[in-house]
Structures are given as C-alpha cells and as structure tokens.
C-alpha cells in the first residue's frame, strides 16, 4: 500500500519524507486555506520535496474552466496529479487529461457506481471518502471492498486511493481489502507506530541496559 499525506504543511511533509514512508501528497482547497499560503507556491514546494504524485485540485465546476486551471497546475511540476470532482464535467476533464498523459485523481467518491464511471473515464486514482461515508451511517470499508471487486473484475488500472481516513483501523482494513493507496493526515500516519507493548518493551530493555553499566562506543 502506498502512503500519501493529506496536508499542505511543508514541515510535516519533509518529516515524513525523511522516514521513507511517503509516496505522495494530497491537497485540497480546505488544506490550502488552513495553511494560509499561496496555492501555487505551496504545491510547487511540496512537489519539490516529494517525488511521488502530488494532487492539486481544480476549483471550477465546468469543463472548459477545469481544463484551463488544470493547464496551469500541471505546469508546476511533472509529478502533479490533477484532482477533479466526480461530476460529468469532472470526468470529461479526466478523460481529456489522462489522454494527454496527465495523472488525474477523481475525488469525492461515495459509491461503487461512481468509482466505475471514474475508471471508465481513465482516472489514475479514485478517492472514496470512507470517514465521511461512515459519518452518515454507511460502511466506508464495504465501499472499498465493492470498488476492489469491480476493478478486479475488469482489470481497471485505476488505483483505489482511500481518503477521509480518520484512524489507524481505517488504514489496516483498507490494506486488508487491497486498496492501492491511502491518504491521511500526518498525525494518523504517526499513530500507526503506536502500541503499548512496543513502549513497554523499549522501557524494559533500557532499564536492563542501564543496570549493566555499559555504553556502546
């Protein structure tokens, strides 16, 4: 499973990149607003830090303006993935952009039917929002399972990018189902390290080591 960071905070991205765990980054208008910085400047800086796909989202709703915005965004760096909404115009833009060799992340997916449409339009990534799906009484992981089955049935190349990840269990369950990518806030990625038995084991080893009175080096 590939790990993408869902953030526009460059310090967090640099920290994760240094661990070797970071395969890409996703941004959206809300994250850019939270950063308080210029959109193009932030995306350019992120693309320079992380060589993997960097999702930059168009904000237009009509095809012509989406394509105009995409033209600006994809010139930022070679690893930019244009993020478009799962709408008729969004999928029309997806088809045109992927046909021209540009990565496209189709976002705001909430049904297997929508995911099927995105794959047929040639999406590089489909982003089902599992946390938001759970919030309204649906099973986000069942959505991932359904998309995985459909994509495997027809050998679609579109990668399942699990989004709206709320906790480490979402990551583990998505990995068990065969999702290709997950994107999560850095805080959640760091939580994957945590286990009380690991902490207890380290504490025990350090206590015993101190009792030996030895040093390494």
The pLDDT tens digits of the residues spanning 40-69 come to 999 999 999 999 999 999 999 999 999 999
Q: Work out the average pLDDT over 191-216.
A: 96
> Quick one: pLDDT band at residue 217, thresholds 50, 70, 90?
confident
pTM listed for this prediction? 0.95
In the chain, what are the domain boundaries? 2-212
**Of 34, 78, 83, 215, catalytic:** 83
In 3D space, the residue among 93, 139, 85, 136 whose CA is nearest the CA of residue 112 turns out to be 139
The pLDDT tens digits of the residues spanning 69-108 come to 999 999 999 999 999 999 999 999 999 999 999 999 999 9
Report the distance separating Cα 184 and Cα 66, nearest Å. Answer: 26
- Considering the segment(s) 2-212 as one domain, its CATH architecture is Alpha-Beta Barrel (3.20)
83 annotated active-site: yes
Write the secondary structure of 60-71 as one string of H (helix), E (strand) and C (coil).
CCCHHHHHHHHH
Residue pair 185/151 in contact by the 8 Å Cβ criterion: no
């Amino acid at each position: 499973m590939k790990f993408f960071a869902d953030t526009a905070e460059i310090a967090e991205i640099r920290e994760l990149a240094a661990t070797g765990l970071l395969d890409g980054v996703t941004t959206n208008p809300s994250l850019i607003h939270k950063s308080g910085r210029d959109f193009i400047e932030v995306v350019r800086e992120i693309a320079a830090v992380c060589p993997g796909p960097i999702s930059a989202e168009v904000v237009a709703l009509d095809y012509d303006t989406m394509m105009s915005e995409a033209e600006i965004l994809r010139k930022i760096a070679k690893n930019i993935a244009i993020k478009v909404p799962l709408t008729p115009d969004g999928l029309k833009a997806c088809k045109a952009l992927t046909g021209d060799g540009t990565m496209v992340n189709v976002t705001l997916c909430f049904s297997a039917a929508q995911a099927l449409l995105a794959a047929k339009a040639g999406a590089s990534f489909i982003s089902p929002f599992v946390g938001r799906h759970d919030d309204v009484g649906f099973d986000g992981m069942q959505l991932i399972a359904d998309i995985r089955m459909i994509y495997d049935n027809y050998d679609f190349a579109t990668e399942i990018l699990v989004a709206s990840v709320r906790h480490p269990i979402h990551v583990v369950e998505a990995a068990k189902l065969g999702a290709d990518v997950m994107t999560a806030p850095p805080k959640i990625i760091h939580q994957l390290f945590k286990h009380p038995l690991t902490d207890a084991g380290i504490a025990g080893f350090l206590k015993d080591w101190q009792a030996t009175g030895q040093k390494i080096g």
